[in-house]
Amino acid sequence: MKALSVLWLWTCAMTSAYAAPDAREVLRIGANDEIAQLYAPYQKFVEAAFQDTPWRIEWVNLPLARSIRAANEGSIDGDFIRIKDVTEIYSNLVAVPWPLNRQRFYLFIPTTLDCPDTSNIDKLVVGKLLGISAYDHFPENIKRNMVFSPNLESYVNMAMAHRIDGIAITDDHYKKISKKFDVDLKKCSDHMLYEAVTYMMLNIKHRDKIPRIVEAFSKHAGLLPTEDQAY
pLDDT in tens, 53-101: 999 999 999 998 899 999 999 999 999 999 999 999 999 999 999 999 9
Cα(171)–Cα(164) distance, integer angstroms: 19
Looking at 63-72, 74-83, 211-220, 221-230, which range is the least confident one?
221-230
Cα(84)–Cα(82) distance, integer angstroms: 6
CATH 3.40.190.10 residue ranges of the chain are 25-100+197-228, 102-196
pTM: 0.79
State pLDDT tens for residues 168-182: 988 988 988 898 889
| Domain topology for 25-100+197-228 | D-Maltodextrin-Binding Protein; domain 2 (3.40.190)
pLDDT for 227 beyond 70:
no
Those residues whose C-beta lies under 8 Å from the C-beta of residue 229, and which sit 6 or more positions away, are 221, 222
Spell out the alpha helix ranges (H) of 161-203.
Answer: 171-181
Distances (CA, A) of 92 to 68, 76, 136, 143, 203: 10, 12, 19, 27, 6
Looking at domain 102-196, its CATH superfamily turns out to be Periplasmic binding protein-like II (3.40.190.10)
Mean per-residue pLDDT for 186-193?
84
Position 173 scores a pLDDT of 86
